[in-house]
Amino acid sequence: MEPRSVDPHRRRLTTGVVTATVLMSSGAMVIFPLLPTLQAQLGISTADIGFMAAAGFAAALAAELIVAPYADRGRARSMGVVGVLLMAAALAGSALATDTWHLVAGRALGGFGYGVFIAAASALLVRADPARAGESLGRLGAAELAGVSLGPLASGLAIAFAAPGAILAWSGAVVLLGVVPVALAFRERATATATAMAMASKTADAAAAGATGVDAAAASVTPAARPPRVSFDLLRSPMVVGVLLLYGAVMVPTGAYDAIWPRFMADIGASEWLTALSYTLFAVPYALVAGWAGRLADRRGGVSAFVRGAVVLVPIVALYGVIGNPWVATGVGFVESSGQALAFIGAAAAMAQTVPAARAGASQGLMRAFGLLTATIAAALSGIAYETGGPLLLFGGTAIVVVVIIAAGLLVVRAALNSATSVPAHPLVHDDRRGSARVDRARRAVLRDLHHEIGGGERRVAEARPLLAEEQHAALGELDVVDRQ
């Protein structure tokens, strides 16, 4: 335990990542309590709010697919700085918005910046200590949720005495401060860029590649072979596909009702400050549970942690459809947050446990990109669903979709584990009984062949023994003759 407690690089990196992530996440969420006021000022429809949220998700998706792999190629620090600058510019632009498309464009720019930033942050955290990736990603998730609570809370309180444009402008200035922790802390470990994660854990990476089906090129990165510029090669692993489905499933609620939440709360009688408080209370359990969830994922496997979270999450999503009291909705969100923490961190840890640390930027980016894809689709449809069928259609339909995708993901994961042909040496596949049975059968076959070889050798020795005896007798006879002479 002592070496872990005195790792200065990991401690400095974690502090910088957490600080910058809180600022970035709060900047991304600050606009939501302002939406009812902006709707009245700019004539924005509820469907337009859904499209605005979809633009942010779609832009972040593009960043995760196009830019995230560069976090594995020594560009993580630059990516962090660019991400902060883009988010600050997006908030400044939104502050000057006079039409709906201005807000959509600002949301897209901010989403792209956030995607670039979070790809760099997660890659650095995983590589800082691959064995504790779940715990590190849990802290990242806690920082994101802290921003989710602080941003809306601040804007929800400020709207009582300030205009939305002024609030957005000041938020951009605050986010810009994130450049400082990024510049100081976003650094690879001294040996990480050259041989680091690939060579230091070469044996474990090879075992993970065999157990999970990741292509050898994806599982081994040497100094002479830099990581690919894209992450699609990872899709050759069935285990990666299964984890993508799991993560995508829990991103559906995020897209489905994050932008609609203020409208929903207003419709059931919530004030703007209560809506802001609901974001804050949602974040508290997540922040408290995140560290434990990450350690659970490191110890028991990410998929196991995910399943525990999904059991809590899905019923609560459906329950929102029949809630008519804003205080009850706020309290239920307080419980939902714990399930979200387990599910999100479990899926992220599962990906870190499936793909070698040298590809952490690409794999985590690919995972978030797929999650953003499902969130984008859900966000684009959420406004239409809410206007058509109200809360019951939105939340009930979301719960059904989540269950279907989770079931598909777990089936793919199980099939991937059952098809593994090597000894399970990876946290995700420690209980692959079918693979173990195949290993046992192979071991018995080897022992049987060895026994046959030994038996054949014994028979040949027995056959040769009389000939040796005759030759020995003849040699003794010749010696007797020599002695008599």
Q: Please provide the average confidence, as pLDDT, over all residues in the chain.
A: 78
CA dihedral 239, 247, 73, 177 (to 10 degrees): -160
pLDDT at residue 457, as a whole number: 53
Cβ-based neighbour number of residue 183 at 10 Å: 15
pLDDT at residue 400, as a whole number: 93
pLDDT at residue 453, as a whole number: 52
pLDDT at residue 408, as a whole number: 93
Task: Quote the radius of gyration of the chain (alpha carbons, Å).
Answer: 29
pLDDT at residue 468, as a whole number: 56
Residue 293: half-sphere exposure toward Cβ, Cα within 13 Å: 33
What predicted TM-score, i.e. pTM, was given to this entire model?
Answer: 0.69
pLDDT at residue 72, as a whole number: 81
Question: Among candidates 268, 262, 46, 31, which has minimal Cα distance to 158?
Answer: 31
Structure tokens given for 448: 């049987």
pLDDT at residue 204, as a whole number: 40
pLDDT beneath 50, residues of the chain: 1-4, 192-224, 421-437, 439-440, 443, 446-447, 450, 454, 461, 479, 481-482, 485
8 Å CB contact between 201 and 221: no
pLDDT tens digit string along 308-319?
Answer: 999 999 999 999
Structure tokens given for 39: 């709707």
pLDDT at residue 209, as a whole number: 43
Alpha-carbon gap, residue 328 to 334, rounded angstroms? 10
Q: What are phi and psi of 295, to 5 degrees?
A: -65, -35
